[in-house]
Structure 1
Amino acid sequence: MNQSTIELTETLTNMPSPTGSTTEIISFIDSLLKEYGYQGKINRKGSLIVTVPGKDDNNHRFITAHIDTLGAMVRAIKPDGRLKLDLIGGFKYNSIEGEYCTIHTQSGKNYTGTILMHQTSVHVYKDAGTAERNQDNMEVRIDEKTFSDKDTEKLGIQVGDFISFDPRTEITPSGFIKSRHLDDKVSAAILIQFLVNLKKEQQELPYTTHFFFSNNEEIGYGGNSNIDERVVEYLAVDMGAMGDDQQTDEYTVSICVKDASGPYHLGLRNHFVELCKKDNIPYQLDIYPFYGSDASAAMRAGADVKHGLIGAGIEASHAFERTHNDSIVATEQLVTKYLFSEFS
């Protein structure tokens, strides 16, 4: 098992970073890479850019992983002191029912809680199992003595406070890692580990390459700026989606051929396939019908690049996710072979 990447993934998933509140994790990654001699730049949106000079500085590559996750905000404080939620990112209320969470107040004080249906008790509510899981019925039960909205306000909790979900990260002896927010912290760990290995092995990339840790992907505009005009190829490393009619699994690297934004660059996709075949990297080609990436955001912003998308296969995306070390290793192998390859 690639313990370094797995352990780094565990570290990252345990750092709260819902979209809009990512300063801590960006600072962590920046500080970590500084230990290896990298000088990153944090842009105005809060993303981290690490540029690695290559043999060819006239033609560049751009590779991204996003560190922002799904989450929520306090929508309102209810008369009984509990909290109404407003979701951050594209997921469903049923996927967080029963989850432990943390409310992050503006003062810096945190409070724990649980996300529940208002009609949770089957001993009281006959519609406990059938009531719609929506903003009106879901609430946060705070682990404090609160009996009214005024009690909750006295804690310093207010509308707009961020709410993060307990990741419950677990690594199994059989090689699985299950956790919330593997999308896309697995990919971030892969890129960080690549940079660490690159420095340790004192290797030089063929092209100057920008490593971009984006922090707004879950809301549609991660990785759409700070793209040097010399960038020829743009690769987003993000999760591979699994389900009915999908080829992606938890044991190979997924190469996306199309998502909701349209087809990815054919030449670059074929280049990934050729690298996999040449080096016996297990892979799957797939279409993600309800999906967007940093790369598709860059295309909508008008980037004149060849764009691609690869990633580890993630089961139960935007819920309680899982992948296997085999998929992580395959993705690492393809990322490495690609970044040391010539242009497609």
Structure 2
Amino acid sequence: MPRLAIDTDYLRDQLAAFLEIPSPTGFTDTIVRACCEELQRLGVQFELTRRGAIRATMRGRQRGPGRAIVAHVDTLGAQVKRLKENGRLELVPVGHWSARFAEGARCTIFSEHGSYRGTILPLLASGHTFNEKVDTQPTGWEFVELRVDALARSKSDLERLGIDTGDMIAIDPQPEFLANGFIVSRHLDDKAGVAVMFAAMEALMREQATIEVDTHWLITIAEEVGIGASSVLVPDIASMVTVDNGTSAPGQNSSEFGVTIAMADQTGPFDYHLTRHLAQICKDEDIRFSKDIFRYYRSDSASALESGADVRTALVTFGVDASHGYERIHMHALRSLSELLTAYVASPVEIPRDARLLAGLKGFPTLSMEEAEQTLTGESSVADPQTEDD
């Protein structure tokens, strides 16, 4: 079955809806409910782990070897570390991101007594007061504080408001959807990946497509702190494709157009056979793609392997400019990824032996020396380059 047509209006609307829901790691219940409601509307069966990771399932022509596609719905954020005597809040980050990108951010503090709005500011925030010192102060979480938009001139004022150590802080995404296809927002990592998954599921359900094997659509809730897919896999899953952001920056090969297939990240190479299979689907279905390696990056795939799962992993990405900052992507990449997912779940299983946890040598894949020799002599076929308009 060829790739399916993607409803880009649906994709955009889902992304916009997800961005509106605050969901820093540890504060994801509301967005989990929103995802489950949309799965119900689409008619896709699902179940939840105790803490709220989602495993939705589409039954295939055969049960195994099972496939999984995963993205995470949790985002970067912060927590209150300390109530300061000046009525401001000291912060610690949730997830790994620089305080450089927090300065000036509007945010919401969620206390047990209600929510408050505020702004993250450098300690020296007024040029009229501190003159050139505002330009020479260091960057770091110890050099910023949160100004609460309420009467809070002292620690006791903060206590009266009900704000306390450990309160969660959600950073405003401030999304812009431009007419030329660019999307600018915080938290595109990885709410755009979740929207891509929903767009693919919508197309599969709309077209009543035939699924090759049981396919599990996983939505995790703690990827930004390294937990990710460690608790949502089942033994029947033999291969897992992660959908997350690529890093389109100097020295990288990721693109804001088409699919970027990661060949390795800081935890090592992705599965040879699964990665090649995805690249071949892109060639066969005329989906623009590039390949990249990420040196300072990990994803749901890493957490699955580190938890002991014997699963083949791959990572397909949408190129993001300024990842973990004020990010930018293009709808072309999101649509391309959704198309790839629809073609992947309908593609034949390449290694049927993977249906068993343990088996003999029969059916185990071979790395063909003939293929390697063809590559060295330049005899292997290479797809023609494509343009950004493809």
TM (norm. structure 1) is: 0.97
2:190 corresponds to 1:177: no
2:327 corresponds to 1:315: no
CA displacement at 1:39 relative to structure 2: 2.9
Equivalent residues of 1:21, 1:162 under 8 A apart: yes
Which residue in the other structure is 2:277 paired with? 271
Equivalent residues of 2:212, 2:349 under 8 A apart: no
In 2: Cα distance, 1:202 partner to 1:280 partner: 22
Stretch of structure 1 that moved more, 31-40 or 88-97: 31-40
CA displacement at 1:199 relative to structure 2: 2.1
In 1: Cα distance, 2:93 partner to 2:64 partner: 43
In 2: Cα distance, 1:204 partner to 1:277 partner: 21
CA displacement at 1:241 relative to structure 2: 1.2
**Any unmatched runs of 5+ in structure 1?**
none
Identity %: 34
2:117 corresponds to 1:112: yes
More helix by percentage: 2
Which residue in the other structure is 1:66 paired with? 72
Residue by residue, what CA displacement relative to the aligned partner does 1:46-80 show, whole Å, maximum 9, x if unpaired? Answer: 21111211111132001101000000000111101
Name the SS of the counterpart of 1:146 in structure 2.
Answer: coil
CA displacement at 1:231 relative to structure 2: 1.4
In 2: Cα distance, 1:39 partner to 1:281 partner: 29
2:206 corresponds to 1:193: no
CA displacement at 1:203 relative to structure 2: 2.1
Equivalent residues of 1:33, 1:196 under 8 A apart: no
2:93 corresponds to 1:87: yes
Name the SS of the counterpart of 2:45 in structure 1.
Answer: coil
Name the SS of the counterpart of 1:205 in structure 2.
Answer: coil
2:233 corresponds to 1:208: no
One-letter identity of the residue aligned with 1:117: P
Residue by residue, what CA displacement relative to the aligned partner does 1:29-60 show, whole Å, maximum 9, x if unpaired? Answer: 10111122223211023211112111111320
Equivalent residues of 2:245, 2:318 under 8 A apart: yes
Equivalent residues of 2:102, 2:120 under 8 A apart: yes
Name the SS of the counterpart of 1:132 in structure 2.
Answer: coil
Residue by residue, what CA displacement relative to the aligned partner does 1:269-319 show, whole Å, maximum 9, x if unpaired? Answer: 111111111111111100011010101111111111111000211110000
2:345 corresponds to 1:339: yes
Name the SS of the counterpart of 1:276 in structure 2.
Answer: helix
One-letter identity of the residue aligned with 2:120: I
TM (norm. structure 2) is: 0.86
One-letter identity of the residue aligned with 1:24: T
In 2: Cα distance, 1:2 partner to 1:210 partner: 23
In 1: Cα distance, 2:313 partner to 2:288 partner: 21
CA displacement at 1:226 relative to structure 2: 3.0
In 2: Cα distance, 1:106 partner to 1:6 partner: 33
Structure number, greater radius of gyration: 2
2:68 corresponds to 1:54: no
Residue by residue, what CA displacement relative to the aligned partner does 1:235-258 show, whole Å, maximum 9, x if unpaired? Answer: 111111121211111112110000
Equivalent residues of 1:115, 1:138 under 8 A apart: yes
Query: RMSD of the alignment, in Å?
Result: 1.2
In 1: Cα distance, 2:64 partner to 2:260 partner: 30
2:136 corresponds to 1:148: no
Q: How many matched pairs? A: 343
Shift >4 Å, 4+ stretches:
none
One-letter identity of the residue aligned with 2:83: I
Name the SS of the counterpart of 1:136 in structure 2.
Answer: helix
